[in-house]
Structure 1
Amino acid sequence: MALVFRPNRIMALSVLALLVLGGATILAARSYEQRLDSVRHTVDVQRKLMVVLSDLQDAETGQRGYLLTGKDIYLSPYRAARDQVAIDVAELEKLVADNPEQVRAVDALRPLMRTKFEELDATVALRRQGRDSEALDIIRRDQGLRTMDELRSQLAGMSARETVLLRERIAASRRLSYGLFASLAVLVGAAFAVVLLWLGHARRDARALERAHLAEVDANARLRQEAAERESAEGQVRQLQKMEAVGQLTGGIAHDFNNMLAVIIGNIELARRHSDDAVRLDRRLLAAQDASVRAATLTKRLLAFSRRQALEPRSIDVNGLVAGMSDMLLRTLGETIRIETVLAGGLWRTFADPAQVESAVLNLVVNARDAMPEGGRLTIETANTYLDDDYAALHPEAVAGQYVMVSVTDTGHGMSPDVAAQAFEPFFTTKGPGLGTGLGLSQIYGFAKQTGGHARIYSEPGAGTSVKLYLPRDYAVGRAEPVEALAAEPAPGSPDRLIVVVEDEDSLRRVSVESLRSLGYTVRHAPDGETALRLIEELGSVDLLFTDIVMPGMTGRQLADAAALLRPDLKVLYTTGYTRNAVVHNGVVDPGVALLPKPFTVEQLAAKVAQALH
């Protein structure tokens, strides 16, 4: 509530009077401070007078001690006092320079002190020469006593004059302090009167403010209590949701893996029973292989959702990637769905894994196809997009910045808000049993986040769905790389190519060795890094080192570094089932590193080996 004041002539005169009184008070305060300085000066003079007298007495005490004992230890305070008194008298002269009478008194002190020290020096000198009686004769003459009395008298006179000055200055300071206090009292009284005038207008508002403050305090207390209760309840809900999510994820994984393992185990057992029937044997093995590939795909999607997959990003043109997928997309969609592409001109490049971008687009297209069983229209659009701070505030998982946007929009049945909110969750699907794993969108979401991007779903029941994938803009200049054909047919192997396979798991090592030999390569193998190093040294010429990364003792990265010292031109292809290791950091494969994630097919092995040898 604003306070309203109505200034008038009385108020203006009151303020003017306050200013005049304030100025007078400041002048009085300055004068009072000057008087206090003069009082402190007088005290300093008196203190210095006592110091000079103390110096003289110390010198005389040292001289007497030496005359009585003959010990040199008494000469030290004597000499120190004799030297110090000259310094103190000079300082005293500076202190009383503003008082002519005291200056004359200081001038009268000097010959007396000179006479006194001549007597002291003479007695000390005679004592040092062993002429004790002559030294005592000088003392018995009482000349030194009379000189010392005159010095005391002179110093006492100076102290008395300073005492008179001190009383006068204290009295003057007291008078000024009374005036200052009176001025302050008048100033305070005037200020109080002015404040009373102002308070007359403000009192009503102050009461209202106080009532509002009390109401606010009470409301804040209730809000804090409610917030504490809500936070406790939310914590319990979050824990329940976490346990429910873990249970859902675990149940989904167990369900899908059990199904796939059942297929694999059942087909292998049937294959063993029908080993004499080549056609049935081949059919069972193909079924087992298909289930194994689906299990491998499931683990890759789980890694993608958890942002643990090994990415191989490069600078890519998304328009070129989408255009290159046109034939595959047409085959995927069929004839009942019309596809449109709206590719932005001047599209920025993005730094991402092209295989994962292609997989994400393909997943979105398949989802869109399944949402339009009776046909429809599918639109793939690209654009340069800027997500501002307001958008980031509304979507905490997003970071403000420039992005390359890829959207896939369908005219299907759409999703309700509740369904759309869960669409990115793993194992969540609206498809019937056996028609989907519920990991496609969660894989896309995990890939977008791991790449530093963002994913959003926009959907309305009956109006279709649009999924937008935001990939961070690549600001680097000059690192544009062509997108390789991901399904290119690798060149056949050659017996002239020697590959060393290193794998600590015996069964997996045997499979890798037999697969490479079936591709036409010459293969030698080792169960660990130390054995592999000795083998490489014995062989002399090796074209490729195909090594697991996580092994007991020497890791694959350590083996490759050691082998490079023996064979600097040796090419290396790593393999691993664990994404956090020596060649993958923050989910990205180190530059210049060739990596084949486990599990892999013979075709994938052939392609990667050919690429590494190229």
Structure 2
Amino acid sequence: MVIARPAFSRAVPLMLLAGAILLLAVVLLSLRFANQTRQNSNDALDASGLNNRALLLFSLMQDAETSQRGYLITGEEKYLGPFKRAEALINLQFTSITGDMMKLGISDVTIDRLKRLVDEKLAEMRRTIALKTAGKDADASAVVRSDNGKLAMDEIRQIMTRIDAITHNISFQKGMSLDNAARWLLISIAGGAVLLIILVGGAVYLAIAHARQLEAASNALAEHNEMLEVRIGERTRFLKRANRELQSYSYIVGHDLRAPLVNIMGFTSELERAAGIFAGYMKKPPAARDALTEKAALEAVDVDIPEALGFIRSSMRRMDDLINEILRLARAGSRQLAGEHLDLAELLPETVANLQHRLDESGASIVLSPRLPHVVSDRLALQQIFSNLLDNALKYADPSRKALIHVSGMAMGGNAVIQVSDNGRGISERDLERIFELFRRSGPQDRPGEGIGLAHVRALVRRLGGDVTVQSVLGEGTTFTVTFAADIGSIKDGEET
């Protein structure tokens, strides 16, 4: 013992020194990994923030384009409000993300190209609005049909997609770095744990506490990233769906409005031709007029000109009807919804009562389920939805059998689900989605209508926080399923579609 004591005495300071050095090394290593964790976390948050602001910039461009199109279609000043707001914010938003884009390695060429595209698109929209304001509708339409604005938006969308990919990749890489930092930290702590327990128990406690804090920070960041990805995914799906619907809407409106316009142009040429024949006849002196030219002139005046004018009037009426339907749909989409407590078992009979005359004439029957849910929703919107669906069921009844329509419903979670089923002539499978498009109808076109009812229904249901789907067997019948929020107050701002 006497001999061992000096050795032990010498060993203790050495062991304490070794323990202190090890503790210092562990602490320094922990600080290094903590700093890496903080830096990676900040970089990931910067990437996510840039992605959000880039999405907002693209959303502002889409708002401006939607406002421009609304003004070009209607000519009403109120449609310019979103454009003016977006125009005032776009440059500020672009400036706010320029530094972050450069920081994350996005090239100056890409940033400059994006700036030029944004400026070109804004200039194109300002030009069309100015032409429309000056009454030069044809010039404004020509600018739109040049597709320069569409090409600019397509390229902007491509750049935004690349930015989205870059920021997601950075977030992923930084997340991997966080995992590596935490793993190496645990390894360093485990390697020195035995000696630290023997020599410096307190240091072990601090190291473990620090490791737990790092793990909690890593878990919190992972949870934050997961929630952020979910929100971005939802927003991206909404923007894609809105963009698809807007493109489809623009195409359909342009196509259906162009058809009567082409007719007008064609028969205007016919009118000019007939007028030219008559004018040529009148310019000839009486002695030079023969029976053939006189017959052609009379035919131009009595047949060709009245016929051309009749077709022109018909096409103008068609354009007027289409424009009125578009305006009706636009007004319904912008109306402020007002929630009130409604018992659908009382509301739907009111809708059926408005169709009683047609039911008596056709001998059709509408059977309402007594178990319809209570909701807090917009009365007028629901009346329009179910009035359109019941009207369609009566309109497209199968003449070979008595029309029978069933309406049933239930509450499911936070939604109300209502089904309207009929035994009518049905819808072919290829037309099941097409019927919800503007000015589109399925089957024989032997019933009056403009093809806007179901588009109106889908727009209203989506504003109520839901959607409408259809199932049908040709020759047997059709079932429309309407799902909407049981309480309109539960719909978050910005989720109405």
TM-score by length of 2: 0.36
By percentage of residues, which structure has more helix? 2
Q: Which has the larger radius of gyration?
A: 1
